[in-house]
């Protein structure tokens, strides 16, 4: 049996989310270890990301994510976010999408020292939808090299 990219991503995402479910509220927000984008669609997209620390905007960037091919997904990595920040929330949207419908991630809702985030273009929904996956895998935080 051959799995499609979509089935593989969904299965991996469900397993990841289930294994990372935590409880309790942390005292301080988590640091950001990695911020990547995956595009399973055959169309390329521009993704805009905003990171807030409290009410202050501390990072705003855009990345062009290439289209997927028959052999691999389109990917991009955001870098250059300030080192040592403890973001409280992330907003992410595709080019043309409104900020009011942006994908949101609340760092304060997760009990972890460091989080790695992966945004995914949702090819089954409207063309402006992004999904946000997260991991507490220490490797995402140890190998992160944000520029300050």
Kindly report the number of other CB atoms within 10 A of residue 18's CB atom. Answer: 8
For the residues 59-86, what does the mean pLDDT come to? 91
Domain boundaries, the chain: 5-142
Quick check: 68 pLDDT over 60?
A: yes
Comparing 49 with 95, the larger pLDDT belongs to: 49
Class of domain 5-142: mainly beta
Predicted confidence (pLDDT) per residue in 85-106, tens digit: 888 999 999 988 888 889 999 9
């Amino acid at each position: 049996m051959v799995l499609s990219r979509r089935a593989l991503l969904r299965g991996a995402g469900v397993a990841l989310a289930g294994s990372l479910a935590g409880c309790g509220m942390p005292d301080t927000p988590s640091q950001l270890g990695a911020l990547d984008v995956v595009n399973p669609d055959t169309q390329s997209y521009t993704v805009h990301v905003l990171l807030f620390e409290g009410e202050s905007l501390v990072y705003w960037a855009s990345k062009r994510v290439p289209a997927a091919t028959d052999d691999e997904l389109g990917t991009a990595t955001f870098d250059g976010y300030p080192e040592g920040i403890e973001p409280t929330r992330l907003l992410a949207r595709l080019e043309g999408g409104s900020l009011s419908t942006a994908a949101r991630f609340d760092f304060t809702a997760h009990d972890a020292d460091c989080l790695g985030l992966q945004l995914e273009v949702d090819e089954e929904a409207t063309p402006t939808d992004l999904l946000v996956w997260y991991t507490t895998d220490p490797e995402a935080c140890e190998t992160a090299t944000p520029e300050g």
